[in-house]
Structure 1
Amino acid sequence: MTAKPSLFPSVGRVLVYGVLLLAAAFFLLPLYAMLVTSFKDAEEIRTTSLLALPGGLNWSAWSTAWSSACTGVDCNGLRPFFWNSVTMAVPAVLISTLWGALNGYVLSLWKFRGSDVLFGLLLFGVFMPFQVVLLPMSQVLGMLGLSSSITGLVLVHCLAGLAGTTLFFRNYYAAIPKELVNAARMDGANFWQIFWRIVLPLSTPIFMVTLIWQFTNIWNDFLFGVVFSGTESKPITVGLNNLANTSSSVKAYNVDMAAAIIAGLPTMAIYVLAGKFFVRGLTAGAVKG
């Protein structure tokens, strides 16, 4: 006779769930504190505890952070910085991802003499500190006439992310059967036809991983943003830093918290909406090659 399943979870499972809930609460506590503070006015911040709920949903701090908070001598809020980041991140993510896919395709399925050596040299970019390339990159941008521009930032992020995206796609494509590519070549398909019609349709998992990874890195980058941007091209991370460090008679913690959440909303939204695809892509890459 088979034993009937218990209506109550085992002690071990309860302990595991308890530890996970505690870890999640500990991880989300700073976000909770930021969120409740952003809805409080100055009086509530002074008279209530950090974790106390606000008396109501007061959106004034959010409006100020978005459109009228001072970031140095400029008092237009985070709005221009936000759209600078959008203008920079979207093309940089798409270009670096497609570029990495093409590199991975060549280095795994169209190998040539020295391709493994080239791939090994390219991997230096994954481990190289970005501070090392600041001076030569600034010289290159100056020679190209792209200094202090969003186009220059796009180029910098494409080059900085190329080693990582190539690594992702090369390892993923290494598991594609060579017979599939050889059969397509025998049927008359050329380099680009195989790439667009055969390889890319198989690449959805790794594409999702790379897009999310690149968007997170580029959107949250501060180093390149503060070094290579100009007055009109600063990304949101630089704007947030300027807002938080702008001195005033009374520190507006609610505005700072609202601004920080606004700066992090796109990446949070990406992981909430596409997190399952990220996990699937990582799992698919983990069992290949």
Structure 2
Amino acid sequence: MGPGPRGSKPKKALSRRNIFLYGTLIVVAMYYMLPLYVMLVTSLKGMPEIRLGNIFAPPVEITFQPWVKAWSEACTGLNCDGLSRGFFNSVRILVPSVVLSIIIASVNGYALANWRFKGSETFFTILIVGAFIPYQVMIYPLVILLREIGLYGSLTGLVIVHTIFGMPVLTLLFRNYFASMPEELFRAARVDGAGFWQIYLRIMLPMSLPIFVVAIILQVTGIWNDFL
């Protein structure tokens, strides 16, 4: 049988439902973007223009002096050396925390989804319970622990804390994602003689980009909210 006729695909007409949907999304997006717009245009104005009170108007004369002053002279607590120190400290905490937590959580989720071992269900239950424990409950014990091991007040200690706090939720996400993959892929790899790390690196990892993106977004936003 020969190939069917090739023609241009019919264009989908905009229905009332789609118009309402897209219109609602545009309004919601504008609602959330408006404060960011006001903050940005205000930061580019001088004080005489800010005092006029027209917060939505674009700057008549753009100035970057507020940015320079905030970066190098803004006071945070007792320090008046700008936001640069806090920014770079946050980056030094963010990068290793995200990398470590996602690597460990992805391996944990892969092992829990595809490799049954003694105590795996108990381990998974503990992780789920840990995901619902408020971090405020664990602050005081963590302070004592970090003080005892000599990491209190250090960036390394904060990296460890953020990595641990991210484990329950991220492991749950990776475990559910890997469990939703076709089991035949795992069985075929096992029949071909592939081991734990071969299956993870060559099969599971290349197919896991969506969940890695979700995990990165969750960790980056969560850790960056603790801006130092």
Q: Which residue does 2:148 correspond to in 1?
A: 143
Task: Deviation per CA, 1:193-234: give whole Å up to 9, x if none.
Answer: 22222221221111111112111111113xxxxxxxxxxxxx
1:179 corresponds to: 184
Structure 2 distance, partners of 1:201, 1:7, is 34
Counterpart position of 1:63:
68
How far off is 1:10 after superposition?
Answer: 4.9
Deviation sequence 1:78-118 (CA, Å, 0-9, x none): 11110101110001001000100111011110012331222
Query: Residues 173, 60 of structure 1: CA spacing in aligned structure 2 closer, same or farther, 3 A cutoff?
Result: same
Task: Please tell me the residue identity of whatever aligns with 2:63.
Answer: N
Distance 1:8 1:199, change over 3 A: closer
Candidates 118, 123, 134, aligned match of 1:118: 123
Mapped to 2, the partners of 1:138 and 1:78 lie a distance apart of 26
Percentage of identical aligned residues: 47
Partner of 2:113: 108
Amino acid aligned to 2:69: T
Q: Give, in whole Å, the separation in 2 of the partners of 1:45 and 1:128.
A: 44
Distance 1:112 1:14 in 2: 52
Report the counterpart of residue 36 of structure 1 in structure 2. 41
Counterpart in the other structure of 1:206:
211
Partner of 2:32: 27
Normalising by the residue count of structure 1, what TM-score does the alignment of the two structures yield? 0.70
Query: Which residue number in structure 1 is paired with residue 197 of structure 2?
Result: 192
| Residues 8 and 123 (structure 1), Cα distance of their counterparts in 2 relative to 1, 3 Å cut | closer
Residues of 1 paired with 2:85 and 2:169: CA distance?
29
Structure 2 runs not aligned, ≥5 long? 1-9
SS at match of 2:54: coil
In structure 1, how many angstroms separate the alpha carbons of the residues matched to 2:15 and 2:170? Answer: 43
Deviation of the 1:8 alpha carbon: 8.4
Residue number in structure 2 paired with 1:161: 166
Deviation of 1:7 (Å): 11
Aligned length: 219
1:137 to 1:178, Cα distance in 2 relative to 1, 3 A: same
Q: What is the TM-score with the length of structure 2 in the denominator?
A: 0.88
User: Amino acid of the residue matched to residue 25 of structure 1?
Assistant: M
CA offsets per residue over residues 237-284 of structure 1, 9 Å max, x none?
A: 24xxxxxxxxxxxxxxxxxxxxxxxxxxxxxxxxxxxxxxxxxxxxxx
Q: 1:212-223 counterparts in 2 under 5 A? A: 212-221=217-226
**Alpha-carbon distance between aligned partners in 2 of 1:11 and 1:66, rounded to the nearest angstrom:** 49
| Root-mean-square deviation over aligned CA pairs | 2.1
Deviation at 1:12, TM superposition (A): 4.8
Where structure 1 has 5 or more consecutive residues not aligned to the other structure, the ranges are 222-236, 239-289
Q: Structure 2 CA distance, aligned partners of 1:122 and 1:6?
A: 49
Letter in 1 for 2:103: L
Q: 1:8 to 1:98 in 2, by over 3 A?
A: closer
TM-superposed deviation, 1:68: 1.7
Matches of 1:59 and 1:104 in 2, distance apart?
A: 47
